[in-house]
Amino acid sequence: MLKAKVAFNQKEGGEYYLLGLKLDKNFIKSFLPGQFLKIRISLNFDPLIPRPFTIHAVEKDKLLVLYRVVGKGTQLLSKILPGEELEIIGPLGKPFPEIKEPYLICAGGAGIAGFGYLLQKTNNFPLKIFYGAKTKEELVRLFFYEKFGVPLILVTEDGSYGKKGLVTQVLEEELNNKKSKASSLVLLACGPPLMLKSILEIAKKHQLKTFLVLETFLACGTGFCKGCVIPLKKGGYSYLCVDGPTFLADEVDFEKFFS
């Protein structure tokens, strides 16, 4: 475990917070887009298990994490003040696969977090980013994503900003539009399970090579406990913490994964 000083931990909107961790620049460089770190949130061992978060962005000597408060650990994390220290482990997992084809990103809720660092590092920008949330206030860090010049298609479930509906519906409308059809188009998506299920249907219908960023409960985070199994179509398992979190959709047995 490595100690990281908290530079800032600010509310962004809705239940989202942006955490800046001050770290050695060379250590920061060892993180690649798509990888994650685990943060030990409480020194009292409650919650006991460090929580995983993807790398949202890098800002000079700071590693940025964008997180949503969902339970005890993230609630405690949101109370951490600048100057305090957190223990972290990383980099963990595999980076995003290198995509050479034109591609689209689709993100729902906290699923947007990891694509920030991808945009900072990539030479192959996505054609468009579809980003959906429940409400306007949960669409966070828009100024950050906009500065890369990639069209950002914003969607809210209540229609309070951008297009109204589900981000997957808007993605599908786009794919139904002949102009953006391309046989080599790739899809990269991250979001809650229901969104991923829709993405799988869309990918099948439009025959798109698709990468999904998956989440499971993680314990050790290092391949030791075998607790984060991802069932494979060919039989056997991969482990999210060492082989993921991004998987080629065709390789995963989603019937077992979602059951």
Ligand X SMILES: Cc1cc2nc3c(=O)[nH]c(=O)nc-3n(C[C@H](O)[C@H](O)[C@H](O)COP(=O)(O)OP(=O)(O)OC[C@H]3O[C@@H](n4cnc5c(N)ncnc54)[C@H](O)[C@@H]3O)c2cc1C
DSSP 181-195: --TT-EEEEE--HHH
Does residue 54 touch ligand X according to CB under 6 A? yes
Minimal distance in Å, beta carbon 9 to ligand FES? 25
In the complex with ligand FES, the residue whose CB is nearer, 38 or 128, is 38
* Residue tagged 């519906």 (tokens): 169
Residue closer to ligand FES (CB basis): 120 or 238? 238
- Looking at 33-41, 82-90, 151-159, 219-227, which segment touches ligand FES (CB under 6 A)? 219-227
Q: Looking at 43-51, 164-172, 200-208, 212-220, which segment touches ligand FES (CB under 6 A)?
A: 212-220
Q: Which of residues 105-134 bind ligand X (CB under 6 A)?
A: 110, 113
Sheet of strand 246-248, all strands in order from the earlier edge strand to the far edge:
163-164, 152-156, 128-133, 103-108, 186-190, 209-213, 246-248
In the bound complex, what is the minimum distance in angstroms from residue 163's beta carbon to ligand X? 23
If one asks whether residue 67 binds ligand X (CB under 6 A), the answer comes out as: yes
- Partner that binds at residue 239, options ligand X, ligand FES, none, CB closer than 5 to 8 Å by kind: ligand FES
User: Which residue spans within 56-200 are E strands per DSSP?
Assistant: 57-59, 62-68, 85-92, 103-108, 128-133, 152-156, 163-164, 186-190
Contact partner at residue 231 from ligand FES, ligand X, none, CB < 5 to 8 Å by partner kind:
none
CB of 72: closest distance to ligand X in angstroms? 5
Q: Is 189 left (phi over 0), alpha (psi -120 to 50) or beta?
A: beta
CB of 36 to ligand X, least distance (A): 4
Return the residue nearest ligand X (CB atom).
Answer: 71
Task: For residue 157, give the nearest of 169, 144, 143 by alpha carbon.
Answer: 169
Sign of CA dihedral 47, 20, 110, 96: negative
Contact yes or no for 56/18 (Cβ under 8 A): yes
Long-range contacts of 196-199 (CB under 8 A, 24+ apart): 197/254, 197/258, 198/166, 198/168, 199/106, 199/168, 199/171, 199/249
Asked if residue 218 binds ligand FES (CB under 6 A), the reply is yes
- Lay out the site mask for ligand X across 72-91 (x = CB under 6 A, - = otherwise): xxx-----------------
Check: CB of residue 53 under 8 Å from CB of residue 80. Answer: no
Q: Which is nearer to ligand FES, 182 or 229 (CB)?
A: 229
Question: Residue 51 forms beta bridges with which residues?
Answer: 39
Work out what residue 220 binds among ligand FES, ligand X, none; the CB cut-off runs from 5 to 8 Å by kind.
ligand FES
Contact residue for ligand X among 26, 44, 71, 179 (CB under 6 A): 71
Count of residues interacting with ligand FES (CB under 6 A) = 13
Out of 33, 52, 91, 116, the residue judged to bind ligand X by CB under 6 A: 52
